[in-house]
Chains A and B, each alone.
Chain A
Amino acid sequence: MAIPHPREIQTAVVDWLDDRYPFTKSVDEALYQRVPNFANAFYYCFGGMVFILIALQLVTGIFLSFYYVPDAGVPGNSPAYNSVLFIQNTQYLGWLIRGVHFWGANILIVMVLIHMARVYWTGSYRAPRELNWMVGVIMLLCVIFLSLSGYLLPWDTKAYFATEVTIKIAGLAPPAQLGAFIREVLQGGPVVGPATLQRFFTIHVFLLPAVIVLLMYVHFRFIRAHGISEPM
């Protein structure tokens, strides 16, 4: 029996897959869609840069969570604080992963704002793209809340008091009972404490990343449906 050429094996595998689902057609549609030439202007790349940074945050975030312990502990002995110190000072390349997550988050905010300014500048929020602008604003809020919740996780003094003030501000909503309710639900108790850290950890690691990934998908489907907007 003749040994088949590798390309024949590949073709056979792809044919087998295509009989089950039109993979090749989907890939063709995704990759070879025509893009207008004016979309080569440099200011159309900021959205892509935001995408790259969010992907980077997801990867480094997953790696950080291998060592991070979301446990505030008792005053004077905090496993969360100690685990961040461990990542920073002891774990091989921990400073790099944490540093990339930290700086990536800061640059992400800058890039999101620049992307938003570009969308504004080219008038890309106008019909028929209103919904995509709204999805974008919701994602901006997601990024802000991600930064806010991530700031608490090292559980050091500045994180603690910054979070306390933030929750206080959220708790100012009138009437007083509603404010107290908001504050209690955010804190998970009468004061900013271990329950708050647990809640913010869950929001930062499970809730908001899921939401933002879903919204990014919606964002891209809208862009593909609308096409890239014309420059001003």
Chain B
Amino acid sequence: MSNGIDREGPGAAQAVTEIPIIEVDGHTGHTLEPEWKRLPIGTDHILYPVLVSLALFPILMGAAGHHLADDMPDDETHPFFPDHFWPYPIIAVIMLITVGLLAAFVQKNLQLEQPADPRAVTIPRPDWYFLFLFQFLKLGPELITAIVIPPVVVIGLLLWPFIDSFAGTRVARRLGWKRWPVPGRNIYTGTGWIVFLAIIAFLTLWALAGPGFCLPWFSGPVCGA
């Protein structure tokens, strides 16, 4: 046991000399490794995004940072627990009862058809949330309706914040508005969103109306599914 290291109390492996903490631009913390020990990968390197995504995890595990509510007076905020948390157990119970009742009384949708047989002749019909896409496929050459437009819509959704900040400011300036977004006036993007949802709802209803319900279209009448 006597190997020359003092063992006093639990976890006694203490540094004899303190590691100096260098303060740079108000940044207190551990010092960076010397240049020659670091990866030679900077922002201009092709692998930099890989490093950033690897670093994302520990970053997100760390402190959450500054909160909006930290700047607000106490009477305009409340603690998350229990003041903000209490409705959620109630919501959870209500939702559990809802799906339980649906499971108990609406078993029709759960009944299986015949086992899968590639030789069977049936009309394939997707679940309700794909009906709009299924109906949309009938409206043009499938290369455009299936391969071009859906990915464009998804990428548009993904990049929507940037589209909004780019186009919105220009629209606002042309209309003489001082800034974007204008408080309480989300008119242009809001209308676009509602039109988008309305098209999806219309296509879904069109498909739900069944094969007997046909509407005129450029390539001839198109019926529901």
Contacts and interface: CB of A to CB of B under 8 A. Distances in A.
Indicate yes or no for A touching B, C-beta below 8 A: yes
Contacts, number: 209
Interface residues of B, number: 77
B interface: dominant SS: helix
B116 A52 contact: no
A17 interface: no
B60 A45 contact: no
Interface string A57-90: 0000000000000001001101001001100100
B64 to A, nearest CB: 4
Interface in A115-160: 117, 120-121, 123, 125-127, 129-130, 133-134, 137-138, 140-141, 144, 147-148, 151, 154-160
Interface residues of A, number: 83
Nearest to B88: A48
B95 A160 contact: no
Contacts of B128: 106
A interface: dominant SS: helix
B31 interface: no
Interface string B133-163: 0000100001100110000001001111110
Contact of B115 (A81, A104, A133): A81
A99 B105 CA distance: 10
A147 B127 CA distance: 9
Contact of A141 (B118, B119, B154, B159): B154
Given A95-B110, A232-B184, A35 B77 contact: yes
Interface in A183-197: 191-193
